[in-house]
Structure 1
């Protein structure tokens, strides 16, 4: 197997196990990462078995997963005036752009801060590396930023997560022990729309 095929197969596995994309969406996303030397037929044929493997694994998942609790924490934050976004673009700049769009929809007077993780964070989480969360206040003021960070840490700990954060507003929060297990049905229930994520951009 070529290095190209190995790379794309790993991407396919990440797309599938992220829980955000249907088989049809993953097949379409392959178009964005195909190279001339790739074995397209083999790669597309790998999608269905990967979904089958994930479906089988889900049979042994706990009734409540860390992703369920993360959804609960984000819902609580959103209800409290914090824009909390899942899988927001692929880079920090993408995530901040998504926050800006959401802020425009909600109205500035309804929002006091934000948090999100982007596609590269998601890749690391799926690979077992925990999850990083970006955050900030609206408007952007150092003292308010710290309060948002403290609120996020408290809320996530209340939902049972181990949270690592130095208290420095220039650093992100880390959920180092988060075990990524998200079902496709779970994402469909939340009505996520992230077809543009996992582009090949830099951090």
Structure 2
């Protein structure tokens, strides 16, 4: 088994794959929604990885990074066997991969194929998703691509990755100056507590309120009497400085057409206590039909570990 994790455009992350499994993944890429492979070592080394991109049966663009952006290099090859040898040698801690290709400093961020206004719109979409703090690097890349109608503007995976890469680096640099505990950390603390108090507690859950309420029951654990969540749009609003809307409710019992107000109010009080206990400013008038507002809120959520 190789001490690595393997991320692709589609499919689950592979952890500690066998050499033949990694080789199979590398051979298959190039198809629709299956353009890249990123391999990270299972260690604490930040920003150390190898990756490759391929479109159709074109050449493989292979990159490796050894820490800082200035230690990022690229090469091209049309040989799947060479790519496999490079990845396997790198994963095993070898040195042969360093001379197996003609490595050159990589242009990490340029997108000359995109019009300036398209690039600007793509960057704004990426910033929005990065600010939320919940989405990994590959999720943000996909969000950039999904923001455009491909019949009008199609942004390749490679271009989207370059757009996101620079903004991701900026955010990591910003995080270095943040306090050890931020407001989103306090929100996470409150939700962890609520999850242990008989509530189905989910952060950044579903696209909107209606879908969240319709889907939260599928997350219910035995013994949960109610739920609490905030959805994607709530996260975006918090990241834009508007505070966080926290939604809650009680599960209906057998024969009930919806939970009664007193049970929903009881859940609201439990949520209020957890948020207040985490040191957050909370606004709620006790009405079970109103959301609980956490405001003012300084939304500085760190990016997911490992990207």
TM-score by length of 2: 0.55
Deviation for aligned residue 1:184: 2.4
SS at match of 2:192: helix
Residue 245 of structure 2 is aligned with which of 132, 152, 158? 132
**Structure-1 separation of matches of 2:304 and 2:233:** 22
**Structure-2 separation of matches of 1:48 and 1:186:** 15
Give the equivalent residue in structure 1 for 2:193.
76
Residue 155 of structure 1 is aligned with which of 229, 253, 274? 274
Give the equivalent residue in structure 2 for 1:173.
292
**Structure-2 separation of matches of 1:125 and 1:5:** 25
- Relative contact order: is structure 1 or structure 2 higher (C-alpha 8 Å, sep ≥ 6)? 1
Give the equivalent residue in structure 2 for 1:16.
130
Q: Does 1:60 align with 2:177?
A: yes
Give the equivalent residue in structure 2 for 1:34.
148
Unmatched tracts of structure 1, length 5 or more: 189-203
Alignment check: 8 A CA contact 1:20 1:187 kept: no
SS at match of 1:40: coil
Deviation for aligned residue 1:146: 0.7
SS at match of 2:301: coil
Alignment check: 8 A CA contact 1:5 1:38 kept: no
**Structure-2 separation of matches of 1:82 and 1:187:** 29
Deviation for aligned residue 1:31: 2.9
SS at match of 2:147: coil
Pick the structure with more helix per residue: 1
Deviation for aligned residue 1:9: 2.9
Give the equivalent residue in structure 2 for 1:192.
none
TM-score by length of 1: 0.82
Higher CA-based Rg: 2
| Corresponding residue pairs, total | 183
Pick the structure with more strand per residue: 2
Deviation for aligned residue 1:16: 1.3
Provide Cα deviations, 1:33-92, integer angstroms capped at 9, x if missing partner.
212444736655321111011001001110011111111110110001111111111111
Residue 111 of structure 1 is aligned with which of 216, 224, 229? 224
**Structure-1 separation of matches of 2:147 and 2:304:** 26
Deviation for aligned residue 1:15: 1.0
Alignment check: 8 A CA contact 1:117 1:133 kept: yes
